[in-house]
Structure 1
């Protein structure tokens, strides 16, 4: 391929990786999709609250047959990754539709088609992994959706040198966690408009499915806590995760809440700016964790079985993600829905910006129910 051909935009697209893999096998240049972790059937354990019956979100999930997510690794010999959206281009110069930050839009309606020519091509001589995820700057999604893909890569036996991540949304904790996994900053490439890399072995690991998995939690605990030698501090801590520095989902009557929690041995913590190793140690040392629904509760993956978790929700956003983690890990999860107008049952307005106000008398009752005195 000459330099002129290298800069030509894709000549078409495959809707899915599977479609490309079938075509590549017929052309004698096989790519393949390798399933690395199979999702087990799991039973959702609803958290304990004051409501009778429990909130419909938890009732619905606990009555469903669900499987934890599985993982796979797409392998593309001679593949390319291009642009800020991390478009994947096959050796026959076609776009793979379901592998891009723009995967929700139809393959025919992508930004790459607006380009007259592609950026200058950089030819890597080593395997390149693409770990692009739209919300990877959100701590929960980085920890639960991106980092577990390193487990998939390890299972596959492929050892990339370069890792491409979403450059549209990056955060310091990403580099801290990658450093803990042995990936130095020089091996990380943030996607950008001028990105265009070919590799003799381009790999795209992905977690597939809605419900997070125990294997993901085990990987995080093993690689970020045990392998790093992080041990709990002496004594048992009770912590309240504050969101007063956040731009959304603030606990509006936090002072009242802290008066109650403080009387029961809780201390307020701000996780923003706290080194990742200290966050891990903090949660590994906790016997009780309380806080409004937010990314800080992701760190409960480092708690010990039996740790009590108190999660506070707005009536406009009640979510199952952290009760799911608690159920998989053996934590005791309790929940309190705040005051305000409640949408009708089975209507999920999913208002991620809704602030929270809780009834402190109900909080006292919930703490008593949890045995936190």
Structure 2
């Protein structure tokens, strides 16, 4: 992944999970200290957008480090130059925040919208430039409506000429967060809401195609005994999810997009992540909880199969032990 052409580095130190056991230290130790970046924003004149690239004649340059997570071959750039000679549509002023992964729920909320939040400090009225396929995602439409962001869905097969383009750099390697920016973004979603949260929510992946808790029928009654509500968030609109999560004090669930919704919780909550005991790389939710000032707990169930789509089985005794500790930590 690219790491240059970003703002000044900022050191981020994170507290260990509240229930960290010495034997599980390897799961998290690589995430205790990292670097993110201050916002760096370019303002380009007469920028050409085609496919997933941005190109200017003056200077003669592609801006792949702003539009892509991975290196783009020179031959690919040369092939795409043919779009420069196509008839263009025109936009007076726009903002670009996307890369290869931005259309996915987690990356949209935490990566793309964080870049928009940084750019909005320069101009929050410019149209957000998105590939046409993004229009198929209801949560993208809803976030843009809730944040009052104008949008320009462009056809990647044509050229879009932008007179003035605001181009924020990536703020961090995905799964890491500029603390100031991510909290400013949360504040937009929670604006005007200050009722103390009291709900405990478990996010079920029973309707997902992969990565499930195979003994969920055993753990749901236990969770309910501890006061948890059970929710399948794919059944809800984004507004309904926000309304639920801003009332939530404790959020629990298996590693997956549903835990992204901790961004809609008020600071000072707690998060319980079920994560594969073999997975030492995916600390995005531990890091997000830290950035949002939530206490973080975990259960490391053994999984079967590959790490990403893995199904897991939860140890019932360990679940009770962890829920007791969470109740003690939260005072109820």
Contact preservation (8 Å) 1:288, 1:308: yes
Supply the distance in 1 between the matched residues of 2:37 and 2:313 (Cα, whole angstroms): 33
Alpha-carbon distance, 1:192 to partner? 2.5
Alpha-carbon distance, 1:217 to partner? 2.3
The structure with the largest helix share of the pair is: 2
Quickly say closer, same or farther: Cα 1:92–1:16, change in 2 above 3 A. Answer: farther
The structure with the largest strand share of the pair is: 2
Quickly say closer, same or farther: Cα 1:152–1:60, change in 2 above 3 A. Answer: closer
Determine which structure has more spread, i.e. the larger CA radius of gyration: 1
TM-score (norm 2): 0.85
Alpha-carbon distance, 1:68 to partner? 3.1
Quickly say closer, same or farther: Cα 1:199–1:329, change in 2 above 3 A. Answer: closer
Quote the residue 2:153 is aligned against. Answer: 189
Quote the residue 1:364 is aligned against. Answer: 320
Alpha-carbon distance, 1:96 to partner? 0.8
Quote the residue 1:218 is aligned against. Answer: 183
Quote the residue 1:23 is aligned against. Answer: none
Supply the distance in 2 between the matched residues of 1:301 and 1:116 (Cα, whole angstroms): 41
Alpha-carbon distance, 1:212 to partner? 0.7
Matched, 1:305 2:257: no
Supply the distance in 1 between the matched residues of 2:197 and 2:291 (Cα, whole angstroms): 25
Unpaired runs of at least 5, structure 2: none
Give per-residue Cα distances to partners, 1:105-129, cap 9 Å, x unaligned.
44413176067554421133x1122
Supply the distance in 1 between the matched residues of 2:46 and 2:122 (Cα, whole angstroms): 18
Quote the residue 2:170 is aligned against. Answer: 207
Q: Which structure 2 residues correspond to residues 100-179 of structure 1 after superposition, within 5 A? A: 104-110=70-76, 113=79, 118-124=85-91, 126-157=92-123, 159-160=125-126, 162-168=127-133, 171-179=137-145
**1:288 alignment partner, SS class:** strand
TM-score (norm 1): 0.77
Matched, 1:323 2:293: no
Alpha-carbon distance, 1:252 to partner? 1.3
Alpha-carbon distance, 1:247 to partner? 2.0
Matched, 1:252 2:219: no
What's the RMSD between the two structures over aligned residues?
Answer: 3.0
**1:134 alignment partner, SS class:** coil
Quickly say closer, same or farther: Cα 1:69–1:260, change in 2 above 3 A. Answer: farther
Q: Of 316, 332, 353, which residue of structure 1 is paired with 2:295?
A: 332
Quickly say closer, same or farther: Cα 1:235–1:94, change in 2 above 3 A. Answer: closer
Quickly say closer, same or farther: Cα 1:112–1:189, change in 2 above 3 A. Answer: farther
Contact preservation (8 Å) 1:87, 1:95: no
Q: Of 284, 294, 309, which residue of structure 2 is paired with 1:353?
A: 309
